């Protein structure tokens, strides 16, 4: 029997915000390619099984497992440089021995980086003035090590997402403002140095130069045509010629937003972005409601920032306001890796919320405050 408290704490609003995105994804992919639709259904079925399993995993108690898994992810990221498999011109995958499948370690790293940050922050909560230099450097190392390795693949888009999501989570948790001011000055000083050293690859520089010079690549031009011709309410499937006649490349993956707007117009685009906005704000709000639960705060902040970055970068990329990078639209773009990653993150969040009734606020030795002292006193 399932404990009634689990059902009482299960977040149904989160589920209601996710399901429309998955439904829209299946609808659009089916219109573009029935074969890919069948594959996406399999990815969703696999994700549902994984979500059911992860929902009952006690993540709060798996500190050692999380740390070991994080280290294994680092090893896999390093192996990509030596035995990685190239797909679409990028070497970011590792083949699983004796199978036809491959994994993308950078996607797995997003999950275990979140768990490592949450576990460490819950065990070592910040003081009233935020983290000091020592704790900031320790937590920053968790973020910077995978960032550097992924940057070397090269995968600038994913590396920047890791960097911004990690430090964004730290910002929400609390760091002494003097550290942020000092860090800002260091970045401003090193920016000219980075320009001279020139660490970017040729294709990365070309994308940036095309963006700066308003010389859009072919796929962005086609996306703008699709969006511009959609009108207020969009077109029917038969009239959506940019996508149906294959003028728009990657219409079911990175540029699915352009096809969505072509089908549903300006009003549809506004509705979709509003739905993503509601999802981001709602997830972020959970961390403020349960402000004493640092594990939950770290998880909600991480997921909210990650979704915001993915949606913002993808949409700006499609409409020509950002360089073209391999960032899909969360829960909507075709593909198993990104979809399973986000569903795993949501499963972890639902787990933390549903089993919250067995959690004692700040019961670690480093916890502060009268409530934490009362909990420890009752426990003893």
What's the token pair of residue 243?
């996508």
The model's pTM: 0.87
Percent of the chain past pLDDT 70, that is, above it, reads 84
Q: What is the pLDDT of residue 92?
A: 73
What's the token pair of residue 377?
């006193």
The size of the chain, in residues, is 380
- Backbone φ, ψ for residue 128 (5° rounding): -60, -35
Segments of the chain scoring below 70 in pLDDT: 1-3, 86-91, 98-101, 191-214, 357-380
Q: What is the 3-state secondary structure (H, E, C) of 33-97?
A: CHHHHHHHHHHHHHHHHHHHHHCCCCHHHCHHHHHHHHHHHHHHHHHHHHHCEEECCEEEEEECC
Q: What's the rounded Cα separation, in Å, for the pair 283 and 280?
A: 5
Q: What's the rounded Cα separation, in Å, for the pair 272 and 278?
A: 10
Q: What is the pLDDT of residue 109?
A: 94
* pLDDT tens-digit map of 167-218: 999 999 999 999 999 998 988 887 666 655 555 666 556 666 666 666 778 8
Q: What is the pLDDT of residue 101?
A: 65
Q: What is the pLDDT of residue 369?
A: 41
Q: Is the dihedral of CA 333, 16, 294, 313 positive or negative?
A: positive
């Amino acid at each position: 029997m399932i404990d009634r408290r689990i059902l009482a704490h299960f977040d149904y609003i989160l589920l209601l915000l996710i399901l429309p995105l998955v439904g829209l994804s299946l609808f659009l992919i089916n219109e573009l390619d029935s074969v890919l639709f069948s594959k996406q259904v399999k990815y969703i079925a696999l994700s549902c099984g994984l979500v059911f399993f992860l929902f009952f995993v006690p993540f709060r108690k798996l500190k050692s497992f999380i740390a070991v898994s994080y280290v294994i992810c680092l090893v896999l990221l390093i192996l990509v440089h030596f035995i990685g498999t190239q797909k679409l011109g990028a070497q970011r995958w590792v083949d699983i021995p004796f199978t036809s499948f491959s994994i993308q370690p950078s996607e797995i790293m997003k999950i275990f980086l979140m768990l490592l940050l949450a576990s460490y922050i819950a065990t070592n909560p910040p003081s009233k003035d935020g983290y000091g230099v020592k704790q900031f450097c320790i937590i920053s190392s968790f973020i910077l090590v995978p960032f550097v390795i992924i940057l070397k693949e090269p995968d600038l888009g994913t590396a920047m997402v890791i960097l911004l999501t990690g430090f964004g989570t730290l910002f929400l948790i609390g760091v002494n403002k003097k550290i942020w001011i000092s860090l800002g000055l260091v970045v401003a000083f090193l920016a000219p140095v980075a320009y001279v050293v020139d660490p970017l690859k040729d294709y990365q520089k070309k994308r940036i130069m095309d963006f700066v010079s308003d010389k859009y690549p072919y796929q962005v031009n086609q996306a703008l045509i699709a969006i511009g011709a959609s009108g207020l309410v969009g077109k029917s499937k038969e009239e959506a010629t940019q996508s149906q006649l294959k003028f728009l490349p990657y219409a079911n993956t990175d540029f699915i937003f352009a096809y969505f707007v072509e089908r549903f117009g300006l009003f549809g685009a506004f509705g979709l972005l509003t739905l993503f906005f509601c999802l981001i704000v709602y997830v972020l709000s959970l961390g403020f409601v349960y402000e004493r639960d640092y594990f939950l705060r770290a998880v909600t902040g991480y997921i909210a920032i990650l979704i915001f970055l993915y949606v913002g970068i993808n949409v700006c990329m499609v409409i020509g306001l950002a360089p073209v990078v391999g960032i899909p639209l969360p829960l909507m773009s075709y593909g198993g890796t990104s979809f399973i990653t986000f569903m795993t993150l949501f499963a972890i969040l639902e787990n933390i919320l549903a089993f919250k009734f067995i959690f004692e606020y700040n019961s670690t030795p480093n916890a502060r405050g009268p409530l934490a002292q009362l909990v420890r006193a009752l426990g003893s």
